[in-house]
Amino acid sequence: MQPLLALYDYSCTTGMSRMAADQLDGTFIEMKGIGHFPISENPKVFLQYFSPVLEEISKRGVAAYE
């Protein structure tokens, strides 16, 4: 599990996202330069963060996340 946190997302703090990553045995990823609606605000920047997550899911298979 890789919680993604947008740097300007005030509804979910960095601390909350780090805690979620720790509890889920995941990797915390802070997305710099975008906010609460990253796909709308800056699709190119969002894709830089989201593509590796999709690649990881593809490698492991969806069943690994169920």
10 Å CB burial of residue 5 (0-12, 13-18, 19+) is buried
What does the pLDDT look like over 20-31, one tens digit per residue? Answer: 889 988 888 888
Cα–Cα dist 18/60, whole Å: 23
Q: What pLDDT is recorded for position 47?
A: 94
pLDDT tens sequence across 3-54: 565 566 667 788 888 888 899 888 888 888 787 788 888 899 999 999 998 8
Q: What's the confidence (pLDDT) of residue 45? A: 92
The domain locations on the chain are 4-65
Helix (H) or strand (E) holding 30: strand 29-35
Kindly tell me the sign of the dihedral angle through the C-alpha atoms of 55, 58, 62, 65: negative
